[in-house]
Amino acid sequence: MSLTYDFYNPTTIHFGKGQVASLPKHLTKENKILVVYGGGSIKNNGVYNEIATALEGYDWLEFSGVEANPTYETMNKAVELVRKEKVDFVLAVGGGSVIDGCKYLVAASLYDGDGWDFLDGSAEVEKALPLGVVLTLPATGSESNMASVLSRRETDEKRFFFSPCVFPKFAVLDASFMQTLSDRQLANGLVDAFVHICEQYLTLPNSSLVHDGYAETLLKGLVKLANDWENRNEPLWQENLMLLANQALNGFIGSGVAQDWATHFIGHELTAFYGIDHAQSLAVVQPQLLRVMSSEKNEKLEQLGRNVFGVSGDAEDTIVLLENLYQSVGISTNLNDYANVDDKVLDNIIPALEAHGMSAIGENGTITLEVSKQILTMTQK
Ligand code: NZQ
Ligand code: ZN
């Protein structure tokens, strides 16, 4: 079947060392700029100073303390600041959490109601302040996509919204900012990007040579980086991860093809309840989900094994290769290896999936709550 789609991605990418110097191309001296960042890593690695230099002579202020898995509660404080100071441009400096928090911020600041309406689906974003990004952790692709994932502390919820209004205007991708990332963060980035590609590729066969071919190129790149893990602190390794993770979720390989995302939906609930890192939640869920769904995904699993790993085995052989890949960069695929996990996993996660409208997920809508239960049971080995 031929594909039909619209592909739209307006984010300008400034890739390479020193590209923070491009910031002024997007700003005027009349702008009131809010620089938003997380817990302070940018203060320790020189990124903050580079930005301050690039913004010399501009009118800017800052908001810090956006947490990993950004919260509604924290970002509402930023909304107050934007309104009080009449901010008209937001610059997010960080990883997916800061960027996602800022996507909420730019939309909620111009909205009359409660910004959570975007997350629970009761309102669509109609307008947003302009947003720019300086990326410090490649993983989510948030720097040039229209998705935002936010958590709400009081209800243990982690929800998402999409809007073309929150596409960043530009993103600076300077891999030298990655030098202070820990092994855990690098591994998380690699695994998150890998699973993003799988969510868009490991579904139904399609007729486009470009979509599958490009997805496989990106997957092979990530496998190569995992095999070359000992060089993870080298500039070229990091630069490659930065581009691979960006391309994995900038919208192209998913345009017009069947998409899954069930691993993400179940993984988000594990993070909401147990605080497991986003990528770790994916590494736990995905292999078991693929096992349970292997008859529907058989053709693509074999294609993945053949074209990415170079083996001509069956679906189960490919799944074992994926588990080995995640484990090879230090990420466990066993839920019981993570702190805080209790014996209430099914009691917590299944009702949350139901409440969030996740009762028929996957590319065919066949992952019912019963199937999710089966998958989650298999994650606790
Ligand atoms: O807060 P600071 O001090 O900056 O520390 C951060 C944070 O603790 C640190 N960090 C970032 N850059 C650093 C650094 N430490 C040292 N050196 C640097 N250069 O890393 C920690 C984790 O950062 P975070 O932004 O949370 O990581 P990530 O980029 O993995 O983002 C995860 C969030 O994105 C969401 C996830 O659910 C999660 O909330 N996702 C967003 C998506 C999207 N918008 O498209 C898709 C994804 O599937 C995902 O759901
Ligand atoms: Zn992800």
With a 6 A CB cut-off, is 137 part of the ligand 1 pocket?
Answer: yes
CB 162 within 8 A of CB 213: no
The number of C-alpha atoms within 13 Å of 244 and in the hemisphere containing its C-beta is 28
Cα 276 to averaged position of ligand 2 atoms, centre (Å) = 13
Nearest atom of ligand 1 to the alpha carbon of 180: 17
With a 6 A CB cut-off, is 188 part of the ligand 1 pocket?
Answer: yes
Cα 191 to averaged position of ligand 2 atoms, centre (Å) = 8
CB 373 within 8 A of CB 269: no
Nearest atom of ligand 1 to the alpha carbon of 185: 20
Nearest atom of ligand 1 to the alpha carbon of 95: 25
* Chain segment 31-63, per-residue pLDDT in tens: 999 999 999 999 999 999 999 999 999 999 999
Nearest atom of ligand 1 to the alpha carbon of 151: 39
Residue 126 pLDDT > 80, yes or no?
yes
Nearest atom of ligand 1 to the alpha carbon of 148: 44
With a 6 A CB cut-off, is 65 part of the ligand 1 pocket?
Answer: no
CB 311 within 8 A of CB 298: no
* Residue owning tokens 């530009």: 170
> Domains (ranges, CATH) in the chain?
12-177 (3.40.50.1970), 183-379 (1.20.1090.10)
Which two structure tokens, joined as six digits, stand for 148?
């935002």
* Chain segment 187-220, per-residue pLDDT in tens: 999 999 999 999 999 999 998 999 999 999 999 9
Q: In whole angstroms, give the CA distance from residue 293 to residue 319.
A: 11
Residue with the nearest Cα to atom 34 of ligand 1?
Answer: 96
Residue 381 pLDDT > 90, yes or no?
no
* Residue owning tokens 């993945």: 304
With a 6 A CB cut-off, is 356 part of the ligand 1 pocket?
Answer: no
First to last CA, the chain: 40
DSSP 344-374: THHHHHHHHHHHTT-SEESTTS-EEHHHHHH
Ligand nearest, relative to CA of residue 180? 1
Mean pLDDT of 109-130: 98
* Chain segment 216-274, per-residue pLDDT in tens: 999 999 999 999 999 999 999 999 999 999 999 999 999 999 999 999 999 999 999 99
Residue with the nearest Cα to atom 36 of ligand 1?
Answer: 278
* Chain segment 313-334, per-residue pLDDT in tens: 999 999 999 999 999 999 999 9
Q: In whole angstroms, give the CA distance from residue 99 to residue 167.
A: 10
With a 6 A CB cut-off, is 96 part of the ligand 1 pocket?
Answer: yes
Q: Between the CA of residue 365 and those of 17, 177, 209, 297, what are the distances in Å?
A: 44, 40, 25, 13
pLDDT at 260: 98
Ligand nearest, relative to CA of residue 187? 1
Q: In whole angstroms, give the CA distance from residue 159 to residue 118.
A: 9
Q: In whole angstroms, give the CA distance from residue 257 to residue 254.
A: 6
